């Protein structure tokens, strides 16, 4: 591969009222928007976005990446202003309003909107607005892609799966979390996409990635936080009870600060 850097693109769907893309369905776009913009839900989403998602992205050891944040074009103005205020000091963030549309197609269009015309693959990742990655994620993703250069030349799509991290829930007491190892979870799951390829990371089911492309799994390094809260889409449909997550002690809080730049003191202050 050339010494020129591959572009890294992250995509975050922030309460975007898509057609499809949710495990719990609604009868209309209006019903979905009402659910998404419910004040209690939005307060929780802003809390997790501010305390979990943004801190590690703003402290990446390799800051050369783009984060496309997709919102509905009818998001209430106070909510949009609140979001823009949170990312105003993050030059990598681009807030992109879109009208309701088919989920995969809209997300693919957004990625292509920010993708540069390059002879190199783009490295893409996706995350929810209550997830996080380690501060080394972009760096390690680029390093892994470099190690896989021969494979990237042979395949249009290659998955790069960092499978170790934490499940976490935040609240007034701080951070409740436990370690986990999971294959093909969306946080810290990357994909190398060949130049000119029409599809990207949002065109594939993350859980089935290994059926349609080579996937390299990289264990042994904490690389993601999967947020767990009462508004998780995946739990509402199946009625899954909350995961039992112990409150981090001082040592655990220090590890979270080092690995994710997530500060339990800042979490507690957010709830005061």
**Per residue in 206-229, pLDDT tens?**
999 999 999 999 999 999 999 997
Cβ(104)–Cβ(21) below 8 Å:
yes
Cβ(18)–Cβ(132) below 8 Å:
no
Q: Which residue has the tokens 């807030």?
A: 95
Q: From CA 194, how far away is CA 197, in angstroms rounded?
A: 5
Q: From CA 262, how far away is CA 249, in angstroms rounded?
A: 14
* CA–centroid distance for 80 within its chain: 19
Q: Which residue has the tokens 């202050």?
A: 269
First to last CA, the chain: 50
Pairing state of beta strands 215-227 and 132-133? antiparallel
Largest CA distance in the chain: 53
> 88-91: long-range contacts at Cβ-Cβ below 8 A with a sequence spacing of 24 or more?
89/58, 90/54, 90/57, 90/58
Q: Among 134, 193, 202, which residue's Cα sits nearest to residue 159?
A: 193
User: What is the radius of gyration, based on Cα positions, of the chain?
Assistant: 18
Q: From CA 266, how far away is CA 56, in angstroms rounded?
A: 13
Q: Which residue has the tokens 């290994």?
A: 210
Mapping DSSP to helix (H, G, I), strand (E, B) and coil, where does residue 223 land? strand
8-state DSSP, 50 = I
Question: Residue 250: what pLDDT?
Answer: 98
Q: From CA 148, how far away is CA 236, in angstroms rounded?
A: 38
Which residues of the chain fall short of a pLDDT of 70? 1-3, 20-27, 230-242
Both tokens of 82, joined, read 């609140």
Cβ(184)–Cβ(165) below 8 Å:
no
Answer yes or no: pTM beyond 0.75: yes
Cβ(70)–Cβ(12) below 8 Å:
yes
β-sheet bridge partners, residue 162: 218
Question: Residue 25: what pLDDT?
Answer: 53
Pairing state of beta strands 122-128 and 189-193? antiparallel
């Amino acid at each position: 591969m050339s010494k020129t850097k591959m572009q890294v693109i992250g995509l975050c769907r922030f309460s975007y009222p898509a057609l499809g893309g949710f495990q719990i369905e609604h009868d209309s776009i209006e019903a979905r928007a009402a659910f998404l913009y419910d004040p209690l839900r939005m307060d929780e989403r802003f809390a997790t976005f501010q305390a979990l998602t943004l801190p590690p992205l703003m402290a990446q050891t390799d800051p050369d990446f783009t984060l496309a944040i997709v919102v509905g074009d009818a998001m209430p103005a106070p909510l949009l202003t609140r979001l823009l205020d949170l990312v105003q000091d993050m030059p990598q963030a681009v807030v992109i309003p879109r009208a309701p549309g088919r989920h995969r197609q809209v997300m693919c269009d957004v990625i292509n909107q920010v993708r540069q015309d390059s002879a190199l693959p783009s490295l893409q990742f996706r995350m929810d607005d209550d997830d996080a990655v380690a501060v080394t994620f972009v760096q390690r993703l680029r390093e892994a892609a470099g190690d896989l250069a021969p494979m990237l030349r042979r395949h249009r799509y290659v998955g790069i799966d960092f499978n170790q991290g934490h499940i976490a829930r935040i609240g007034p007491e701080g951070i409740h979390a436990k370690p986990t190892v999971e294959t093909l979870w969306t946080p810290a799951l990357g994909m190398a996409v060949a130049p000119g390829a029409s599809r990207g990371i949002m065109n594939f089911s993350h859980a089935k990635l290994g059926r349609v492309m080579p996937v390299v799994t990289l264990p042994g390094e904490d690389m993601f936080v999967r947020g767990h809260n009462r508004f998780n889409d995946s739990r509402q449909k199946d009625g899954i009870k909350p995961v039992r997550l112990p409150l981090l002690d001082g040592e655990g809080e220090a590890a979270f600060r080092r690995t994710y730049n997530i500060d339990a003191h800042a979490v507690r202050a957010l709830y005061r």
